[in-house]
Amino acid sequence: QVQLVESGGGLVQAGESLTLSCAASGNIFSVNAMGWYRQAPGKQRDLVATFTVGGYTNYADSVKGRFTISRNNAKNTVYLQMNSLKPDDTGVYYCNLQNWRLGRIDDEYWGQGTQVTVSS
C-alpha cells in the first residue's frame, strides 16, 4: 500500500500563486510515475503535470508556462508550483502515484484531493 498526503490548496484571486505538496509513503517501487490531476465541477479528472517513469515532465497545454512540477526523491514528495492562476484552474487537485513493474503499471494510488479555488 501507498499513502499520499496532499497539502497547499486554498482560495486565491486570479493572477496569484499557490504551491501544492504531496508526500508519499509506503510501498513505493523504484520505478514509478508521480504527478497531479485535477477535476473541475461536472468534469472528468484530467492530467495537470506529472513525472513519467523516465523522469521526464509532462504538462497539460493549459498550464504550460504557468505551472512547474518538481520532486524531492529523498522525501518522496512532489510539488506543484502554480503561478498566474486563472478561474479555469479551479478544481480538486489529486496526487497520483503509479508503481511500475516489467514495463507496465503494477498498481496506482490517489490522494484524497485538495481544493483550489481561483476567484476572478
Q: Which residues contact 44 (CB under 8 A, 6 or more apart)?
A: none
Query: Which pLDDT score is estimated for 35?
Result: 97
Query: Which pLDDT score is estimated for 82?
Result: 98
Name the residue among 70, 111, 92, 84 with its Cα closest to residue 18.
84
Query: Which pLDDT score is estimated for 93?
Result: 98
How many other C-beta atoms lie within 10 A of the C-beta of residue 95?
Answer: 26
Name the residue among 52, 48, 55, 43 with its Cα closest to residue 18.
48
Q: Which residues contact 11 (CB under 8 A, 6 or more apart)?
A: 117, 119
Q: Give me the residue label for grid cell 510515475.
A: 33
Query: Which pLDDT score is estimated for 30?
Result: 87
Taking only the tens of pLDDT, the chain with its 120 residues reads: 999 999 999 999 999 999 999 999 999 998 899 999 999 989 999 999 999 999 899 999 999 999 999 999 999 999 999 999 999 999 999 999 999 999 999 999 999 999 999 999
**Alpha-helical regions (H) of 1-120:** none
Query: Which pLDDT score is estimated for 48?
Result: 98
Query: Do residues 8 and 20 make contact, with C-beta atoms less than 8 angstroms apart?
Result: yes
